[in-house]
Amino acid sequence: MKAVYSDLHRRHDPQFFLVRGVVQRTTEQPERADRLLAGLKAGKHTLIEPTKFGQGPRARVHSPEYLSFLAEAWDAWSALGDAGPEMIANIHPVRNAATYPTHIVGKLGWHTADTAAPIGKGTWAGACASSDVAVTAAQMVLDGEDAVYALCRPPGHHAYRDMAGGFCFLNNSAIAAEHLRQKHERVAILDVDVHHGNGTQGIFYERGDVFTVSIHADPSFFYPFVWGYAHERGAGPGLGTNLNIPLAKGTGDDDYMKALALAERAIRSFAPTALVVALGLDASEKDPLAGLAVTTDGFRRIGEGLARFGLPTVLVQEGGYLSDILGANLTAVLGGFEAAR
């Protein structure tokens, strides 16, 4: 399996992370990509440089106001003269406000769901490169590749149409799915990150052409807390095309595979002709966020399960944080996929 990667992700190097009132270094660090690259090397995957697709694929998913905000945010923030080294909102209107703000501090609050997506000087460049990685992988699949892995950083599945959050700015999985829609009438997105793919769900919630499925730690105890429950099924034309499968804290391999089998049955009923996998590796038993307890062999089994769909597949990297086995888990899931294909 070929893998798409850009070193431009390093321009995004966030520092701030607020956890239960304690400020600490974020877990979404450039070193993540280094460990994932080691996993690709161990699996002997060929690295491909992404193509620059420009704003078009991003604009199919994200609003014009949001993209303008991200592109211009750092310059406007820097012009304040007394602002901090990263953009972190001190106001979150939660859309009860009636007026779109004109001041950068107001816009920052409007376009961020939480404090876990600090914006720095290189964030926009890094996020654009990440989306290009995802679109390049999707284009390769459109051009005939059976499956392609996209090493996207920063990740994307918590980003809404016009709102960042949870380390995410541009929704790479949604952008890849929308790109596949140029050829495929029905596309499924299967999110196996430990966190619910709330941004992806929100983007497609009222659409019937993209089926979103998320297997994740139960939001009753885990981020994002207010999205990701089983009763969230979509709305309007999208009613029935969203499936959430929340899992108990510490769920291991066997029960995870049961959830994956449930997801497979639902996706087969939808009958898509292409699949996007939002490939989080933070369900690992060794991940510092400690939600689930999937082993490295469990990730191999997950890879085998994903291959059974038999669909043209784009695997988009989402979470998976610093642990000694992060690279091995990537090697395992891609190796399992290839072995079962």
Give the residue numbers marked as catalytic. Answer: 158
**3-class DSSP assignment, residue 234:** coil
Give the H/E segment covering residue 169.
none
**3-class DSSP assignment, residue 259:** helix
Provide the angle, in degrees to the nearest 10, between the axes of the packed helices 64-78 and 123-142: 150
β pairing state of 16-19 and 22-25: antiparallel
Side-by-side strand order, sheet with 274-279: 47-48, 2-4, 147-150, 313-317, 274-279, 187-191, 210-217, 242-247
User: How far apart, in whole angstroms, are the C-alpha atoms of residue 147 and residue 2?
Assistant: 8
Give the number of other Cβ atoms within 10 Å of residue 26's Cβ.
18
- DSSP state at residue 142: H
